[in-house]
Amino acid sequence: MNIGIRWKVALGTLAAVIFGLAVAGWLVIRSVEQTELSRIADTLDARGGLAVMSLRPLFDQSGQTVPGPLLHATVRELSHHARVRITVIRQDGTVLSDSAVPADGLAGVDNHLSRPEVVQALASGRGMDVRASQTTGERTYYVALLLSEPATMHSGIPIIRLGMPLTAIDERVRYIQRDLAAAFGVAFLVAMALSLWVSRNLTKPLSEMAAAARQLASGTPGIRLVVSSTDEVGLLAQTLNQMTDQLETKIKEVSDDRAQLLAMLIAMVEGVMVLDYRGTVVQVNPALERMFALGLTESRGRHYADLIRHEGLNAIVSSVLQTRSGQGGEITLSPSGRCLRVEASIAGGSREQEACAVFVFHDMTELRRLEKIRKDFVANVSHELRTPLTSIKGYVEALLDGGKDEPDTAAAFLEIIMRQSNRLNLILDDLLQLSQIESGQVLFRHEPVELRALLERTVAVINPLADKKHHTIELSFPDELLVVEGDEERLVQVFINLLENAVKYTPDHGRISVSIHPAAQSRTTSHRAMIEIVVADSGIGIPEADRPRVFERFYRVDKARSRELGGTGLGLAIVKHLVDAHNGHVWVEGNAPRGSRFVVHLPAAQESPTQVLTRAGNK
């Protein structure tokens, strides 16, 4: 049974009080009894001596038998005056006379030889005993004396026994017991009240401390105890308050550190995985979950091999956990082809769920792609520049070898040199322009541009080239005016490049269409409305495998045909950078039944078409 400390203190105090009162009552009653018995013993000794002096003359030395009536009358008279019971007993135990028994009833009295006081008197001349009388049934104090000294005793000398009932003592003891019971009852009630009060005052602070400790254990902040005393309990409360302050400070520090750590892990673009010494995952960050598509699984507490099944990673992790040394390596994920750089460092933990090794995953995919693009760019630039330079050098050498002496040959060679020089100049101009756009040196104006007028002007520029190849250019514009926000000159450059490509790569008598309409769905992350411009042709088309790369610098689907048509390989790269600079998006699709569709999304202007027309009229 669970008993509170308050009741333990109260019941313990009450038990001690009850025990003390019981011992005190027993000692008081025992002292009273002993005192009364001593007084009765003295009284019986005195009266016994008088009785011996009165009865001794009746029993002379000759041993003559005392007449029964005389003896009985004398015993009764002595008993009356002494107020005690007097019994005359022969040495063989026969009762000669008893003041409490009639003369004719002595024959039925038991032999008293075995009575303790009689045995003592025969042995030492005096005996005493306290017991219930077999004759009267009352508790009686007996004193037995010989009528003569033991030295002069003969067989005719009887034993005189005096008995005094203890009813008065018993009655007095009952009175004392009743008074003590009343006093002890009052004392018990007072002691109970005091013990409850003391236990309450003693245990109330302890109960408050226990409640505060429970609240503190449950995570409730700001728990403080009121210190109202300077004793040990007050010192304990003060110490508990100090401990609470220190604990809250430590918890806040740990929480802040944990929050900062989690914030850093969440904000990191690198994936982080923490393992214990057995390879169980202790912590991962969202970046790692995205890298390995772990968003739908609970990672912590599971073995890393159950989460990430990759042979290369398993080899790195196993080696790190076995050797307890930092290592690194690169892995490639399939089928995505993502390249990850893994760096491992040792944290030193040697228990379960304790950080033993920390693995950081760097996504190198974009870096490797850029490295490949750089390598391809260097190779392509070298190749594109080498071709016209080689041609120019060859024809110059031919002129020096004698070709200059033949006017027709020299003129043809010089024309080729001029054409290759122009091509080289175009490549350098496009490279310079592309570099300026990428480095942010080109400043773009952001003003409303009405697309119909812009495209009509662009088509007018391209029409002479289209007429040479007998192309048909179709324009499909909606009735309402569509306005985008951007730099008009740069947008003209975008659509001239797209239309030139359409004219160049479409066989004679082809069809080219230009259409405008509001975009139903944007591929950009912007929430602004977008305008879609489509330049479609019926030309040779672009294979689907090459479409993602056509906007790269110097990338050609058909390199020989592209050079024949005079392309630099940078036009579409410039288009993509210009569209991106306008917060737009460009891509290429296949056109049915043949050809290509270049789709451009540009953000719609905030001004209304009426305001744009008004501004154009003012200009």
pLDDT, tens digit, for every residue of 139-151? 888 888 887 765 5
Q: Give yes or no: residues 397 and 487 share one domain.
A: no
Three-state DSSP state, 541: coil
Residue 420 tokens read as: 């290759």
Q: What's the domain range around 46?
A: 5-172
Q: Give yes or no: residues 305 and 352 share one domain.
A: yes
Q: Give yes or no: residues 458 and 539 share one domain.
A: yes
User: What proportion of the chain, given as a percentage, has pLDDT over 70?
Assistant: 86
Residue 36 tokens read as: 């009364």
Q: How many domains does the chain have?
A: 5
Which among 410, 439, 468 is the end of a domain?
439
- Cβ atoms of 504 and 567 closer than 8 Å: yes
Q: Give yes or no: residues 258 and 300 share one domain.
A: no
CATH number for the domain harbouring residue 116: 3.30.450.20
Cβ-proximal residues to 470 (8 Å cutoff; 6+ apart), any chain: 508, 509
Residue with tokens 């009741």: 7
Cβ-proximal residues to 11 (8 Å cutoff; 6+ apart), any chain: 3
The arithmetic mean of pLDDT across residues 11-20, rounded, is 80
Q: Quick check: is 194 in a domain?
A: no
The arithmetic mean of pLDDT across residues 120-138, rounded, is 81
User: What proportion of the chain, given as a percentage, has pLDDT over 90?
Assistant: 4
Q: Quick check: is 419 in a domain?
A: yes
* Residue from 496, 535, 533 nearest 516 by CA: 533
Three-state DSSP state, 441: coil
Which among 385, 413, 439 is the end of a domain?
439
pLDDT surpasses 60 at 243? yes
Confidence label for 534 from pLDDT (cuts 50, 70 and 90): very high
Cβ-proximal residues to 95 (8 Å cutoff; 6+ apart), any chain: 87, 88, 89, 101, 106, 109, 111, 112
- Cβ atoms of 98 and 135 closer than 8 Å: yes
pLDDT surpasses 60 at 404? yes
Confidence label for 441 from pLDDT (cuts 50, 70 and 90): low
Q: Quick check: is 201 in a domain?
A: no
Q: Quick check: is 34 in a domain?
A: yes
Q: Quick check: is 521 in a domain?
A: yes
Q: Give yes or no: residues 159 and 14 share one domain.
A: yes
Q: Give yes or no: residues 461 and 497 share one domain.
A: yes
Q: Give yes or no: residues 273 and 261 share one domain.
A: no
| DSSP state for residue 604 in the 8-state scheme | B
Three-state DSSP state, 277: coil
* Residue from 164, 114, 515, 569 nearest 385 by CA: 569
Confidence label for 236 from pLDDT (cuts 50, 70 and 90): confident
Q: Give yes or no: residues 34 and 130 share one domain.
A: yes
pLDDT recorded at residue 599: 92
Which among 439, 458, 482 is the end of a domain?
439
Residue with tokens 């004679």: 508
CATH number for the domain harbouring residue 522: 3.30.565.10
- Cβ atoms of 377 and 554 closer than 8 Å: yes
Distance of CA 378 to the CA centre of its chain: 56
The arithmetic mean of pLDDT across residues 401-414, rounded, is 79
Q: What CA–CA distance (Å, rounded) separates 163 from 578?
A: 140
Q: Quick check: is 350 in a domain?
A: yes
Q: What CA–CA distance (Å, rounded) separates 356 from 321?
A: 8
Q: What CA–CA distance (Å, rounded) separates 406 from 326?
A: 74
Query: What does pTM read for this prediction?
Result: 0.45
Question: Sign of the CA dihedral 246, 252, 256, 258?
Answer: positive
Q: Give yes or no: residues 248 and 282 share one domain.
A: no
Q: Give yes or no: residues 514 and 539 share one domain.
A: yes
pLDDT recorded at residue 6: 65
Residue 147 tokens read as: 């009528």
Q: What CA–CA distance (Å, rounded) separates 390 from 386?
A: 6
Q: Give yes or no: residues 484 and 579 share one domain.
A: yes
First-residue to last-residue Cα distance in the chain: 99
pLDDT surpasses 80 at 90? yes
Q: Give yes or no: residues 112 and 226 share one domain.
A: no
pLDDT digits (tens, 9 = 90+) for 567-600: 567 778 888 888 888 888 899 988 878 888 999 9
- Cβ atoms of 599 and 587 closer than 8 Å: yes
Question: Sign of the CA dihedral 571, 573, 575, 581?
Answer: negative
> Do strands 126-132 and 139-146 pair parallel, antiparallel, or not at all (unpaired)?
antiparallel
- Cβ atoms of 131 and 146 closer than 8 Å: no
Number of H helices, E strands in the chain: 15, 17
pLDDT recorded at residue 256: 86
pLDDT recorded at residue 64: 56
Q: Quick check: is 545 in a domain?
A: yes
- Cβ atoms of 463 and 456 closer than 8 Å: no
Q: What CA–CA distance (Å, rounded) separates 48 from 41?
A: 10
pLDDT surpasses 80 at 439? no
- Cβ atoms of 84 and 164 closer than 8 Å: yes
pLDDT digits (tens, 9 = 90+) for 340-356: 999 998 888 778 888 88
Q: Quick check: is 476 in a domain?
A: yes
* Residue from 230, 226, 235, 181 nearest 22 by CA: 181
- Cβ atoms of 175 and 105 closer than 8 Å: no
